[in-house]
Amino acid sequence: MADADNPTELIADMGRRARIAAAALARLPTLRKAAGLQAAAAALREAAPAILAANARDMAAGAARGLSGALLDRLRLDAARVAATADGVAAVAALADPVGMTIDRSARPNGLQLSRVRVPIGVIGIIYESRPNVTADAAALCVMAGNAAILRGGSEAAHSNRAIAAALAAGFAAAGLPGDAVQLVPTTDRAAVGAMLAAEGAIDLVVPRGGKSLVARVQAEARVPVLAHLDGINHVYVDASADPAMARAIVVNAKMRRTGICGAMETLLIDRAFAAPVDLVEALQEAGCEVRGDPLEASIGEIVIPADAADWDTEYLDAIASVALVDGVEGAMAHIARHGSHHTDAIVAEDAAVAERFLAEVDSAIVLWNASTQFADGGEFGLGAEIGIATGRLHARGPVALEGLTTYKWVGRGSGQVRS
């Protein structure tokens, strides 16, 4: 064990052990990994009393430190949350294993048989905040995709995270998985985060899971690749051809089903030729949403709160929406290109040609036609779970689950071919 007081040495040592574990995990057949996750799920259920006791210590310390109610809620575990966490781990065990999957194959004229085969990425660092369930969620996804994980949770959840990680380790050990498959950084020293972000060669990918300031710090400092989730300034564009009832239902759901998630609509764009713009604004207001817009708009100006320029670039994550009238799909796409964050944008339209244009041309990780932006979620996309929603352009975009935690290699089978 390296000196925990020297974060660089600590992370380097954890990285070396993770690399050895990753090599072993990469070779494990699906059933062995699944058995490990099932054992970990059972261990989590068995350890529920210990996990809840550890969580109570974190909660007491958090309350004493004056953490906000929202933060304490994220930190809080109860029997149902521990059971749901265990169920989540077991559910990952049932997902299709991407490792070993052939992406494509070809036969070259010289007889060389080429294929691209999915392989694990290697060592994945997860940096997260107060939710202790991430310890189990992230570990399960990493391991099922054949990767070793180095987890660094928030200091306020230190006892909870340790108890959960201990249960996972017990389950993995019982099923014969490598002991270092999942390692929890044993210090809450913030310098350990810096050491992870600088660990080129030791950590292959860092996934930050948390609020904007965490993600921003990770992106600013990282020397290792980052799978990041930035803002979700998401738009719903209601075309003149939209069915008014469908538009109303989608707009209200996209904004108000849950206002704090990254898939929530922040800006409503209404075609000037749409028949019932007032209905959409009033539907939002009736659902409890504050609606901000241009007071000089003839149709909706009198019922909205005046918007200022910053509103079009704001991710409210709250019961607030901005609304703008635009000139058709061209106007909508221009607005989205200028103000969007390339996360999730939707069109409501009956005109298929207009919708297909929107789907083709809007440059976002997720584009939707006649569906709510709140579907931006790995579970809803059939991925079974998600490590996060990626808003970068490379490697993986949108909801990322097991496949996004793999890469590929080229495999060539020949019969003595030499290159001329």
Q: Contact residues for a copy of itself (CB under 8 A)? A: 23, 26-27, 100, 106, 108, 112, 114, 119, 121-122, 204-205, 225, 243, 246, 249-250, 252-254, 257, 337, 355, 359-361, 363-372, 374-375, 380-382, 392-395, 397-399, 407-419
Return d(Cα 66, Cα 416) in angstroms, integer.
Answer: 70
> Minimal distance in Å, beta carbon 110 to a copy of itself?
8
Amino acid at 381: F
State which residue, 167 or 283, has the beta carbon closest to a copy of itself: 283
Please identify, using beta-carbon distances, which residue of 8 and 407 lies nearer to a copy of itself: 407
How far, in Å, CA of 319 to CA of 285, rounded?
9
In whole angstroms, how close is the CB of 372 to a copy of itself at the nearest point?
Answer: 5
Measured CA to CA, the distance from residue 164 to residue 274 in angstroms comes to: 53
CB of 373 to a copy of itself, least distance (A): 9
Q: How far is the CB of 276 from a copy of itself (least distance, A)?
A: 16
Instruction: With beta carbons less than 8 A apart as the criterion, state whether 125 and 199 touch.
Output: yes
Rank residues 17 and 397 by Cβ distance to a copy of itself and give the closer one. 397
Q: How far is the CB of 303 from a copy of itself (least distance, A)?
A: 23
Query: Is 364 in contact with 343 (CB distance < 8 Å)?
Result: yes
Contact 282, 251 (CB under 8 A): no
Q: Which is nearer to a copy of itself, 68 or 106 (CB)?
A: 106
Indicate the Cα dihedral angle 90, 405, 186, 77, nearest 10°. Answer: -40
Residues whose CB is less than 8 angstroms from the CB of residue 324 and which lie 6 or more positions away in sequence, other chains included: 267, 268, 269, 270, 293, 294, 312, 335
Closest to a copy of itself by CB, 69 or 382? 382
Q: Output 191 or 369, the one with its CB closest to a copy of itself.
A: 369
- Distance separating alpha carbons of residues 269 and 279, to the nearest angstrom: 13
CB of 205 or CB of 326, closer to a copy of itself: 205
The least CB distance from residue 194 to a copy of itself, in Å, is: 16
| Phi, psi (deg, nearest 5) at residue 126 | -115, 125
Nearest CA among 210, 73, 186, 189 for reference residue 138: 210
Give least dist CB 327 to a copy of itself, A.
18
C-alpha dist (Å) from residue 386 to 28, 380, 401: 22, 10, 4
Tokens matching residue 337:
């290109």
* Smallest separation, CB 172 to a copy of itself (Å): 21
**Residue 269 Cβ vs a copy of itself, minimum distance, rounded to whole Å:** 18
Cross-strand partners of 346? 236, 368
Q: Are 267 and 259 in contact (CB under 8 A)?
A: no
Nearer to a copy of itself, 36 or 122 (CB): 122
In this complex, which beta carbon is closest to a copy of itself, that of residue 136 or of residue 265? 265
Nearer to a copy of itself, 310 or 394 (CB): 394
Widest CA span in the chain: 78
User: Quick one: which of 21, 395, 3, 387 has its CA closest to 195?
Assistant: 3
**Least CB distance from residue 368 to a copy of itself, whole Å?**
4
* Burial of residue 47 (number of CB atoms within 10 Å: 0-12, 13-18, 19+): buried
Write out the two tokens for 207.
Answer: 């996934």
Query: CA-CA distance, 275 to 238, in Å (whole number)?
Result: 10
